[in-house]
A and B are shown apart, each in its own frame.
Chain A
Amino acid sequence: MKQWFGKAAALSVAAAVGLTAMSGALLANPYEKYKGTTIVVSWPALSHFKAAETLVEEFTEETGIEVEIDALQYLKLRDRQILEMSRDEGEYDIVSWVVMWKGEYVSKGLLTPLSQFFTNGALVDPQYDIDDIADAYLQNGGIVGGTKGYMPGKSGALYGVPFGAETSILAYRTDVFEELGLEPPKTYDELVSVSKMIKEKKGMGALTSRGKTGHQVTAAWLLHLAPLGGKIFDDEWNPVINSPEAVKAAEVLRTVSNTGPTGIPSYGFSEMSAAFLQGDAAMYLDSLKIAAMSRNPKLSKVDGKVGFALHPVGSRCGSETGGFAMGIPANSLNKEAAFLFVQYMTSKAGDKRMVELGGDPIRLSTLNHPEFVKQFPEYPVVAEQLPCADPDWRPLIPEWNELNIDVLGQALTKVITTDGPIQPIMDEANEKARAIMAREGYYAWSDYRK
């Protein structure tokens, strides 16, 4: 009996020592516990993400966590992700979404709040420094549930971290501007007058723009809406797309279409940027991605002749908030390993590495890094532009899809393909928008108060 007791005691001591040794090993390497786990990432087949593949390999090498990448064309991404995330046990451990989808994903209960991981001291790298991530990017891509559900606010919570996020800047042909003795436009009035002058004097397209029916033409209009002081909704969800500011933005869009390269009403993003990169347009105003594209000899004939400037200012400064953020589905089976991946890719070191690999940075420390500033002339411009990035650039609500494509996408096509007065077109669109919002119950509170 005594002997048995002694044996048992010895065994348990040995076990305890073993356990301590094991947990000691765990503490030595935060990744150890997840070694051999395979996580599946769903993201778009775009250049930033293509560049990230090398960093993903480095992640696996360093941590032992295997990563499978499912890269899809970005317009097909949402359907696939939603399907996968609405199953009981999904395939994906990480999804990368266009900022527009975040409200829909969260309202359908498809994402995991990141607070679950940020409360876990064993997972979070104390040097992660989330405040270094450009605020506009983090708020726009990651925070859901604030003011109006999609803007910053106290009721918001973090669901994702920006990765492949972007804002808008102006790119222009330094040679053309020099030849005509022009300065890059700082205001909207200048933009309009410069556009007309370039078309007249040089005969080339002035500002290239998207214009294809649907979300493309709406995106082009949004670029002018915020700086000119317009919005989609007022504070009570009443659509204001027929306001004087919104009509002015549509007028600018019409001028752009008339003075730009031939064919704007059929341009999507790629046709629009190609017109600039192949030398058929003197200016470009859209995603900052143009900077990297203009240096790519496969795409660009204008390398070395491109300057960058701030998005022109109307009644206020405002630029696009867009691109992607990534987070963790609610039905993922490897959430902690997935968090480690997100943290690694968006860490200070990861962000710098992304730039070296040809991706876009999300951190101020990267944008202000002296070496990068020397190498990439657009970085100081982007760093200066970011405080202007408008979190209310477009309403990130589930109904936005229908408004964007069915209502605005149609109305704005009419604006740029006809010559008639713009106000009635926007009035009609406003009524349609109101009907959609009424159908979805947005006016229940204001009706109730009456």
Chain B
Amino acid sequence: MAEETLITAGKAKTGGRTLTPYFFVLPAGIVMIAGLLYPVADAFYLSFYDWKIGTKFAKAEFVGFDNYIRMFSDPDVRESIWVTFRFGFWTILIEMIVGVSLALLLEKPIRGASLFRTIFILPLMVSPVVVGLIWRYLFDARVGWINYYLGYLGIEPQVWLGDAELAFFAIVFTDIWQWTPFIFIIVIAGLQALPSEVLEASRIDGANWWQQIFLVKLPMIRSILLIALLMRLIDVFRALEVMYILTGGGPGRATELLSLHIYNRAFDAQLLGYASAISVLLISIVFLLSLGILVVGNPMKEKSDI
């Protein structure tokens, strides 16, 4: 009898021990489910319906895969994806180059480095809505500063936000202005954490400045660069506020990123089911891209090797 009790107690103990870790991740799990899985699942569910705001959802018509079929044959959606990829390509490329270069320049303790660093990260602290407004006034065709100063150079006033190519340039430029500091901060933190022994060793081995950067420093912060790239890539697909205020997606669909396209479809045209279907596409694209980058070079894996 006593023996039996002991055994049961032992069993319970083992069972408890295996459950403990799950118990600790439970709060995080709940937050994940409530904040992430539920909305995504709901969007997925909604994408099979034709629902109009203001009517009871019970009255919404089930349309099966109609929204998806329409989406894949919709040239506007394709154009929006194309705009998003072009936007992502140019902004991330330039932000990486400029951000990394600035970090390499300001890494050394030169005079006033901390002042420069503070100035460089200022744009990051401005709320996207304000960024949108500031640049909207700067790019304004009639009263904007940019046209005003270009006038001194004898350049005709340009309709920055009303011409397809100029407007695309404007949103790329604004994004670079705001997000280069993000790359800059991450990279400079990585550079300063590099072990000085390795750099010293390479110098003794006769590496010049270029070789030190391209063969030693950058490869050593590779995982940090990848994380920065990944975060920017996801940001590109989430970007909305700045373009919403700057151009509203126009002229035409020249600056209508996929997220803005979803917003316009959902709330301007009131096509909620259809907008949900496009959201599902957006999630899939971001998911695949993130997965791709992680497969190519998992920064976590590298860390576990050390």
| A residues adjacent to B (C-beta < 8 A) | 79, 82-83, 85-86, 104-105, 108, 110, 211-215, 261-267, 271, 274-275, 278, 280, 398, 401-402, 405-406, 410, 413-414, 417
Among candidates A82, A263, A274, A278, residue contacting B159 with C-beta atoms closer than 8 Å: A263
Does A214 contact B162, Cβ atoms closer than 8 Å? no
Could you tell me the distance between the alpha carbons of A125 and B269 in the complex, rounded to whole angstroms?
Answer: 40
Within the complex, what minimum Cβ distance (angstroms) separates B134 from chain A?
A: 16
In order of increasing CB-CB distance, the 8 nearest A-B pairs are A263-B141, A213-B250, A265-B162, A266-B162, A82-B54, A266-B161, A402-B269, A413-B252
Residues of B within 8 A of A211 (CB): 162
Could you tell me the distance between the alpha carbons of A271 and B144 in the complex, rounded to whole angstroms?
Answer: 12
Does A417 contact B162, Cβ atoms closer than 8 Å? yes
Does B56 contact A401, Cβ atoms closer than 8 Å? no
Instruction: Decide if B286 is an interface residue (CB 8 Å cutoff).
Output: no
| Mask of B51-93 contacts with A, CB within 8 angstroms, 1/0 | 0111110000000000000000000100000000000000000
Residues of A within 8 A of B142 (CB): 261-263, 271, 274-275, 280
Within the complex, what minimum Cβ distance (angstroms) separates A318 from chain B?
A: 26
Given contacts A263-B162, A266-B167, 14 further A-B contacts (CB under 8 A): A79-B53, A82-B54, A212-B248, A213-B248, A213-B249, A214-B250, A264-B162, A265-B159, A265-B251, A266-B251, A271-B142, A398-B52, A402-B270, A417-B163
Does A402 contact B248, Cβ atoms closer than 8 Å? no
Within the complex, what minimum Cβ distance (angstroms) separates B208 from chain A?
A: 50
Residues of A within 8 A of B249 (CB): 213-214
Determine chain B's interface SS by DSSP, over half rule: loop
Residues of B within 8 A of A86 (CB): 53-56
Could you tell me the distance between the alpha carbons of A405 and B264 in the complex, rounded to whole angstroms?
Answer: 9
Does B271 contact A402, Cβ atoms closer than 8 Å? yes
Within the complex, what minimum Cβ distance (angstroms) separates A399 from chain B?
A: 9
Instruction: Decide if B280 is an interface residue (CB 8 Å cutoff).
Output: no
Residues of A within 8 A of B271 (CB): 402
Closest chain A residue, CB of each to CB of B156: A262
Within the complex, what minimum Cβ distance (angstroms) separates B73 from chain A?
A: 11
Instruction: Decide if B157 is an interface residue (CB 8 Å cutoff).
Output: yes
Residues of B within 8 A of A104 (CB): 54
Within the complex, what minimum Cβ distance (angstroms) separates B157 from chain A?
A: 5
Could you tell me the distance between the alpha carbons of A266 and B144 in the complex, rounded to whole angstroms?
Answer: 12
Within the complex, what minimum Cβ distance (angstroms) separates B151 from chain A?
A: 11
Query: Which B residues from 121 to 179 make CB contacts under 8 A with A?
Result: 140-143, 147, 157, 159-164, 167
Within the complex, what minimum Cβ distance (angstroms) separates A381 from chain B?
A: 27
**Among the interface residues B140, B142, B160, B268, which one has the most CB atoms of the partner chain A within 10 A?**
B142
Query: Which B residues from 29 to 46 make CB contacts under 8 A with A?
Result: none
Residues of B within 8 A of A261 (CB): 142
Q: A414-B252, A417-B252 are in contact. Are A262 and B54 (CB under 8 A)?
A: no
Residues of B within 8 A of A262 (CB): 141-142, 147, 157, 159
Within the complex, what minimum Cβ distance (angstroms) separates A122 from chain B?
A: 32
Within the complex, what minimum Cβ distance (angstroms) separates B158 from chain A?
A: 8
Does A401 contact B270, Cβ atoms closer than 8 Å? yes
Closest chain A residue, CB of each to CB of B249: A213
**Among the interface residues B56, B163, B267, B269, which one has the most CB atoms of the partner chain A within 10 A?**
B269
Residues of B within 8 A of A79 (CB): 53, 267
Could you tell me the distance between the alpha carbons of A105 and B52 in the complex, rounded to whole angstroms?
Answer: 12
Within the complex, what minimum Cβ distance (angstroms) separates A277 from chain B?
A: 12
A-B contact pairs, 30 of them (CB 8 A): A79-B53, A83-B54, A85-B54, A86-B53, A104-B54, A108-B55, A212-B248, A213-B248, A213-B249, A213-B250, A214-B264, A262-B157, A263-B140, A263-B157, A263-B159, A264-B162, A265-B163, A266-B140, A266-B160, A266-B247, A266-B250, A267-B162, A271-B142, A402-B270, A405-B264, A405-B268, A405-B269, A406-B265, A406-B269, A413-B250
Could you tell me the distance between the alpha carbons of A71 and B184 in the complex, rounded to whole angstroms?
Answer: 43
Does B141 contact A266, Cβ atoms closer than 8 Å? yes
Instruction: Decide if B222 is an interface residue (CB 8 Å cutoff).
Output: no
Could you tell me the distance between the alpha carbons of A271 and B269 in the complex, rounded to whole angstroms?
Answer: 24
Residues of A within 8 A of B269 (CB): 401-402, 405-406
Closest chain B residue, CB of each to CB of A211: B162
Closest chain A residue, CB of each to CB of B271: A402
Instruction: Decide if B253 is an interface residue (CB 8 Å cutoff).
Output: yes
Residues of B within 8 A of A266 (CB): 140-141, 159-162, 167, 247, 250-251
